[in-house]
Amino acid sequence: MTDQREVAIVRWPGQAPSAQDGLADLLAAYHLQTQAEKGEAVAGVAGLPKRYRVEVADPQAAFVDDVVLLALSGDTAVGCLVVTASVDGRSEIKRLWTDPAFRGRGIASNLVSAALVHAAESGVSAVRLSVWKWRAGAIALYERLGFTSTESWDDRDQLFCMERAV
């Protein structure tokens, strides 16, 4: 049976430092699932591309200039999202992930909404993101939250780019 307690969104680092291990687990799950969806499944974190292994091994160093939002159920990290530092007045949302056992509770929506609040507090004019074209549910979520399609800044095939004014 899954835990039905309320889920809180916190900024990390700064709050909930004990959740670092949970963040690494969420990032590992995100990257492993993404590799599998791209048809490049690997057996474990050691098989991920180096840039992703670095994030999993030391999230605090990997995201030193960024803000990580964690969804916590008690002391357990059940969702995450990274908001990058502003570049040219824009931030980027990356690594949105909810533990599959906690999906369907609005955690992803709450993480994105918290990211938009953070962006507004930071004075950025827009938030952008990229999402794999096959992730229809994620695209629908972003559209419900006001993101629209924009010209791609990334040349990877099958990547869909979106943006929203803050």
What is the per-residue pLDDT across 47-98, written as a single tens digit (0 to 9) for each?
999 999 999 999 988 998 999 999 998 888 999 999 999 999 999 999 999 9
Quote helix, strand, coil % in the chain, to nearest 5.
Answer: 40, 30, 35
Count of residues making up the chain:
166
Q: Is the pLDDT of residue 15 over 90?
A: no
